[in-house]
Amino acid sequence: MRLRRSLLFVPGSTPERIAKAVTTPADGIIMDLEDAVATGEKPRARDWVVAALRRVEFQGRERIVRVNALDGPYGHDDLAAVVPATPDALLVPKVGSAEDVARVDEAVGRLERDAGLDAGRLRLHLLIETARGVLNAEAIAGASTRAVALLFGAGDLLRETRGRLVPGRASELYALSRVLLAARAIGLEAIDTPHFDLEDPAGLEAHARFAAELGYDGKAVIHPRQIEVVNRTFTPSPEAVAQARRVLVAYEEAESQGEGALALDGRFIDAVHVGMARATLARARLAGAAE
């Protein structure tokens, strides 16, 4: 199990920023060959990303490469160069259907065989950022055993739907919920879209908390200064850890007396709450926030 509280986007055309990214507390680094790279820079960016995968020590952070779509002029070349360099995962953009995922899966499998790599080694993060992708989210989530996460992308989606990014996130709620449910139905993680205002830490925290309260596992970030807020928001607080422990102790005591439910501080507690408490403690331990 990996922590994916914060996934930092870094343009593949900036090797100095890739080197800096591995010194941050981000849980994963997304080296971007798609939207963050100008058309004329894409071949050079691809070379720099491959060099980083082979030479840079990521110190346990998840190494993810966002490739260009396979139906464009750069996607297949991206895969041919990147797969043999063995990243941990690919971020596949603008996924609209299960067939899109299947095409990537087939191409990656062929490249793994050609490179002598273990079959299925490379994982997929699937970026859902179109109306078609949202409507097909469940089929997308189940389209490949390589998939480990769905990443929600609000910017492109709202451009397509003609919606607006608003502080309360009302324009995103349906899509956020649908992507989350699709991920959970298949057993994948769900990663939230970036917050695009770099000068708004309070807005970032509210943006991240909204996703965390829905059930998301983490959030993409676009600048290192966003990482601390996002990591903190997606890590169980000391108060949440303490409450989870109290629930487990109380439930174990009740169970030893043959009772399957109880009241704690005036609140009903049963097996559902126990499962949530155990999940809280497991995540806190993974984040180093509990023993």
| Domains of the chain (ranges, CATH numbers) | 6-233 (3.20.20.60), 238-286 (no CATH)
Other C-beta atoms within 10 Å of 7: how many? 27
**Amino acid found at 94:** K
Report d(CA 249, CA 24) in Å as an integer.
37
> Residue 270: its pLDDT value, please?
79
Per-residue pLDDT tens listing for the chain (291 residues): 799 999 999 999 999 999 999 999 999 999 999 999 999 999 999 999 999 999 999 999 999 999 999 999 999 999 999 999 999 999 999 999 999 999 999 999 999 999 999 999 999 999 999 999 999 999 999 999 999 999 999 999 999 999 999 999 999 999 999 999 999 999 999 999 999 999 999 999 999 999 999 999 999 999 999 999 999 999 999 999 999 899 888 888 877 777 766 777 778 777 888 888 898 998 989 898 888
The model scores a pTM over 0.85? yes
> Residue 260: its pLDDT value, please?
66
> Residue 209: its pLDDT value, please?
97
Task: Tell the residue number behind the tokens 């800096």, with chain if given.
Answer: 20
Structure tokens at 218: 């983490």
Strands 262-264 and 267-269: what pairing?
A: antiparallel
> Residue 121: its pLDDT value, please?
94
**Taking the C-alpha atoms of 222, 55, 127 and 138 in order, what is their torsion angle to the nearest 10 degrees?**
-140
Main-chain phi, psi angles of 29, to 5 degrees? -120, 125
74 within 8 A of 40, measured Cβ to Cβ: no
> Residue 290: its pLDDT value, please?
84
Report d(CA 291, CA 288) in Å as an integer.
7
